[in-house]
Amino acid sequence: MRIAIVEGDGIGKEVIPEAVSILDYFNEKRGLGFEKVPVEVGLGKWEKTGEAISDADIALLNSCDAVLFGAITTVSAPSYKSVVLRIRKELDFFANVRPIHPIPGIEKCLDYGFLKPDTDIVIVRENTEGLYSGIEELGDERSTTLRVITKKASERIAAFASELASSRKNKLTIVHKSNVIKSDKLFLDTCKKTALDYFVEPNDLLVDAFSYDMLIHPEKYDVVVTTNLFGDILSDTGAVLLGSIGLAPSANIGDKKALFEPVHGSAPDIAGKGIANPMAAILSLKMMFEWLKMNKEAELIEKAVSISVSEKKVTPDLGGNLSTREVGKFILEQV
Amino acid sequence: MRIAIVEGDGIGKEVIPEAVSILDYFNEKRGLGFEKVPVEVGLGKWEKTGEAISDADIALLNSCDAVLFGAITTVSAPSYKSVVLRIRKELDFFANVRPIHPIPGIEKCLDYGFLKPDTDIVIVRENTEGLYSGIEELGDERSTTLRVITKKASERIAAFASELASSRKNKLTIVHKSNVIKSDKLFLDTCKKTALDYFVEPNDLLVDAFSYDMLIHPEKYDVVVTTNLFGDILSDTGAVLLGSIGLAPSANIGDKKALFEPVHGSAPDIAGKGIANPMAAILSLKMMFEWLKMNKEAELIEKAVSISVSEKKVTPDLGGNLSTREVGKFILEQV
Ligand SMILES: CC(C)[C@H](C(=O)O)[C@@H](O)C(=O)O
Ligand SMILES: CC(C)[C@H](C(=O)O)[C@@H](O)C(=O)O
């Protein structure tokens, strides 16, 4: 099993090592034989080589089974292409899975009205098309982007979400805007039909209404499937239900491989200060173990993070005064 | 001054009459000489005539100076075209203004973590293009919608937002997704330039990051300008900061005319029960008075609604047990 380690830029370089310590621990203790493959991509690489990610990097990532990914700083230079979008595309990570499940004990850190302990939502975001098609015509007077919905990609993501729903409460909420964006009719109808094929009960909401209702009544939702950009917005929005975006992990899943990354970015404003919350990276590692069906390891990690918040051993974003390193070390001691 | 009164469907028929009582009161008391012009459009009309809104209705609306608008039930029949989108387009209401400013006293009704009394955001939503272009190709295997950004429409909305910002804190936040959707570069650059022309200080955030940060740190934002669909999603999302979507008013502004409507829809689930919150409709009337530069009337309405929430004279969505009628009557007594 080869695991690519991509720290990336900014706080990616600070949080990924904490997740890697935990990976190392399990690797040694249980003799898992995981091989770590460091891959350097991102702004740092672009500054040195003029390329943020090369074909050789893609090939190297492709030779691995899973990727643990930090975050990338994007600059708006025309020659700078988004690293994570290129990886998602070339490695065909079609499903972006973003759980919204508050870590038990977080209420000890935050006196925070959004927190509802029974929130347990998984946003399944279509990761290959929609407004991320890249089909654009850019001009000085008029610029356009084509939003593309295909039956094939909609079926694929709906099947993935329905399978997940089967293993949970057998309910699937389809989020769309088909009252205005008629291309979403294809997404909606395809998802409904696919859900029924999987004996899953579909319901649906408009994206504006859902974004509101998810925050007011999170307990009403379980597995949610939506298009690319809506998933992007809703997963950041939903992170308020976690208490901090510093607690939001994600998985980008393909047929045989997967990439695990925190939802947060490289946060240039706090990079280098050693105060970034490593929990989203560590919980992304937890998702990797789940994906590998190593549920014991996954549980141990979740429990360790839970102890860390319950005892307020946390970084400043959660009201604590520990450093990234200290929090990482504390969590490692608990696993 | 001719004011079109469009109740529409569902709870539109229940909440608009309460706003109209207040309009009548000022009209008589101050001898304003406003003429009310009832216009019937929506699902009810479609069922009777096969048309949700006719050319004659558009002409009638066009003969008025302002529109007080309830809500419309949309059905997915192909012959059913969105009423509000047609009106926005044909009457050229290019700016959709959605304030997020909690009504003073709301904390008496709701014990609610999202409420932060110093929230005072105005979302200015471009109302004519973006993903609402209507340029679509629909197929069984692939459907597309063209997202259109023009310099002209971006300049117009940015000028409107900048003027508003000049009358407030001189700050404008531009919300976009130009890291992925390159057509948003045109929107972003045009807004930045226009803001500077108005001596307003622009800053910008990606839509996913903004949606999160608006909820966590609403006090950081003042006037926000964004594209059509992002404005749609963000204004519903931001309504959680108000305590209820039943408290969210909006204005659709054109060069000479404007339309005022609650952000909520026709809510078929509670229609006919007499429990809909009339406050969003009444606060939309308040926005009409502001637009007419009748600030005294606007203030009186806001104060009356504030007394109503402070004394818990409210509908069930705010934890009360009064009916739509009773709340409307109470507010009328306070103005
Ligand atoms: C960095 C950016 C391209 C990315 C996206 O828009 O998908 C990020 O926001 C995310 O959510 O993973
Ligand atoms: C009813 C619908 C067409 C409309 C929109 O999408 O603009 C509504 O959601 C709104 O926000 O006014």
* Cα distance from N-terminal residue to C-terminal residue, chain B: 22
Q: In what order do the strands lie in the sheet with B66-71?
A: B35-38, B2-8, B66-71, B258-262, B249-253, B95-100, B121-126, B223-226, B171-176, B201-206
Q: Which atom of ligand 2 is nearest to the CA of B84?
A: 3
Inspect the interface and report whether the beta carbons of A179 and B209 lie closer than 8 Å: no
With CA atoms as reference, the chain A residue closest to B143 would be A183
Distances (CA, A) of B184 to A136, A208, A252, B179: 11, 20, 25, 8
Question: Are A227 and A183 in contact, with CB atoms under 8 Å apart?
Answer: no
With CA atoms as reference, the chain A residue closest to B148 would be A144
Domains of chain A: 1-94+248-335 (3.40.718.10), 116-242 (3.40.718.10)
Catalytic site residue A236?
yes
Which residues pair with residue B95 across a beta bridge? B126, B253
Per-residue 3-state assignment (H helix, E strand, C coil) for B2-29: EEEEEEECCCHHHHHHHHHHHHHHHHHH
Angle at A218 between CA B248 and CA A221, to 5 degrees: 115
Query: What tokens appear for B124 in the block?
Result: 């200015």
Q: Which atom of ligand 2 is nearest to the CA of B72?
A: 1
The answer to whether the Cα torsion of B243, B11, B83, B141 is positive or negative is: positive
- Ligand 1 centroid to residue A145 C-alpha, Å: 17
Min Cα–Cα distance to chain A from B149, Å: 5
> B136-137 and B142-150 as β-strands: parallel, antiparallel, unpaired?
antiparallel
- Ligand 1 centroid to residue B237 C-alpha, Å: 20
Residue nearest to atom 6 of ligand 2 (CA): B232
Total CB pairs under 8 A between chain A and B: 159
* CA neighbor of B173 nearest in space, from B122, B127, B208, B132: B122
pTM over cut 0.95: yes
- Ligand 2 centroid to residue B318 C-alpha, Å: 23
Min Cα–Cα distance to chain A from B153, Å: 10
Residues of B in contact with A208 (CB under 8 A): 232-233, 235-237
Inspect the interface and report whether the beta carbons of A138 and B181 lie closer than 8 Å: no
The shortest CB-CB distance from B233 to any of A149, A151, A208 is to: A208
3-state secondary structure at position B92: coil
Q: Is the pLDDT of residue B81 over 90?
A: no
Query: Among the listed ranges A140-144, B71-75, B204-208, which one has the minimum average pLDDT value?
Result: B71-75
- How far apart CA B211 and CA B238 sit, in angstroms, is 8
Min Cα–Cα distance to chain A from B144, Å: 5
B/e letters for A185-204, b = 16+ CB within 10 Å, e = fewer, are: bbbbbbbbebbeebebebeb
- How far apart CA A58 and CA B190 sit, in angstroms, is 36
Q: What is the DSSP letter of B103?
A: P
- How far apart CA A25 and CA A18 sit, in angstroms, is 11
Q: Is the pLDDT of residue B131 over 80?
A: yes
- How far apart CA A296 and CA B273 sit, in angstroms, is 51
B/e letters for B40-65, b = 16+ CB within 10 Å, e = fewer, are: bbbbbbbeeeebbbeeebbebbeebb
- Number of the ligand closest to the Cα of B205: 1
Q: What is the DSSP letter of A218?
A: G
Q: Is the pLDDT of residue B76 over 90?
A: no
Q: Which atom of ligand 2 is nearest to the CA of A206?
A: 9
Inspect the interface and report whether the beta carbons of A76 and B178 lie closer than 8 Å: yes
Share of chain B above pLDDT 90, in %: 95
Judge residue B134's burial from the number of C-beta atoms within 10 Å of its C-beta, 0-12 exposed, 13-18 middle, 19 or more buried. Answer: middle
With CA atoms as reference, the chain B residue closest to A189 would be B140
Question: Are A159 and A145 in contact, with CB atoms under 8 Å apart?
Answer: no
Q: Which residues, at least 6 apart from B50, have a Cβ–Cβ distance to it below 8 Å? A: B79
Interface test with A, best of B236, B244, B317 (most A CBs within 10 A): B236
3-state secondary structure at position A81: coil
Q: In what order do the strands lie in the sheet with B142-150?
A: A136-137, A142-150, B142-150, B136-137
Of the residues A177, A257, A286, A313, which is catalytic?
Answer: A177
The shortest CB-CB distance from A145 to any of B74, B136, B181 is to: B181
- How far apart CA B171 and CA B111 sit, in angstroms, is 31
Inspect the interface and report whether the beta carbons of A245 and B179 lie closer than 8 Å: no
- How far apart CA B106 and CA B216 sit, in angstroms, is 19
Which residues pair with residue B261 across a beta bridge? B250
* CA neighbor of A246 nearest in space, from A309, A177, A176: A309
Report pLDDT for A269: 93
3-state secondary structure at position B205: strand
Q: Is the pLDDT of residue B73 over 80?
A: yes
The shortest CB-CB distance from B215 to any of A138, A141, A240 is to: A240
> A258-262 and A249-253 as β-strands: parallel, antiparallel, unpaired?
antiparallel
The shortest CB-CB distance from A145 to any of B138, B179, B183 is to: B183
Residue B268 confidence class, pLDDT cut points 50, 70, 90: very high
Q: How many CB atoms lie within 10 A of CB A264?
A: 28
Question: Are B315 and B109 in contact, with CB atoms under 8 Å apart?
Answer: no
Min Cα–Cα distance to chain B from A272, Å: 21
3-state secondary structure at position A158: helix
Report pLDDT for B116: 83
Q: Is the pLDDT of residue B129 over 80?
A: yes
Question: Are B109 and B318 in contact, with CB atoms under 8 Å apart?
Answer: yes
Q: In what order do the strands lie in the sheet with A201-206?
A: A35-38, A2-8, A66-71, A258-262, A249-253, A95-100, A121-126, A223-226, A171-176, A201-206
Residues of B in contact with A183 (CB under 8 A): 136, 138, 143-145
Nearest 10 degrees: CA dihedral of B234, B235, B237, B242?
140
Inspect the interface and report whether the beta carbons of A142 and B131 lie closer than 8 Å: no
- How far apart CA A258 and CA A261 sit, in angstroms, is 10
Min Cα–Cα distance to chain A from B232, Å: 6
Share of chain B above pLDDT 70, in %: 100
Residue nearest to atom 11 of ligand 2 (CA): B232
Residues of A in contact with B211 (CB under 8 A): 211, 233, 236-237
Q: Which residues, at least 6 apart from B128, have a Cβ–Cβ distance to it below 8 Å? A: B88, B89, B92, B94, B153, B228
Q: Which atom of ligand 2 is nearest to the CA of B82?
A: 3
Report pLDDT for B92: 97
Query: Among the listed ranges A106-120, A276-290, B42-56, B180-194, which one has the minimum average pLDDT value?
Result: A106-120
Pocket of ligand 2 from Cβ distances under 6 Å: A 179-180, 208; B 82, 84-85, 232
Angle at B223 between CA B219 and CA B224, to 5 degrees: 100
Q: pLDDT in tens for each of the 335 residues of chain A? A: 999 999 999 999 999 999 999 999 999 999 999 999 999 999 999 999 999 999 999 999 999 999 999 999 988 777 788 899 999 999 999 999 999 999 999 999 987 777 888 899 999 999 999 999 999 999 999 999 999 999 999 999 999 999 999 999 999 999 999 999 999 999 999 999 999 999 999 999 999 999 999 999 999 999 999 999 999 999 999 999 999 999 999 999 999 999 999 999 999 999 999 999 999 999 999 999 999 999 999 999 999 999 999 999 999 999 999 999 999 999 999 99
Angle at B227 between CA B157 and CA A234, to 5 degrees: 150
- Ligand 2 centroid to residue B82 C-alpha, Å: 9
Query: What tokens appear for A63 in the block?
Result: 């030779």
Q: What stretches of A86-132 adopt beta strand conformation (E)?
A: 95-100, 121-126
Of the residues A9, A232, A257, A317, which is catalytic?
Answer: A232
* Phi-psi label, residue A199: left if phi above 0, alpha if psi -120 to 50, beta otherwise: left
- The verdict on the CB of residue B179 being under 6 Å from ligand 1 is yes
Type of residue numbered A295: N
pLDDT in tens, A21-70: 999 999 999 999 999 999 999 999 999 999 999 999 999 999 999 999 99
Which residues pair with residue A3 across a beta bridge? A36, A66
Q: What is the DSSP letter of B170?
A: S
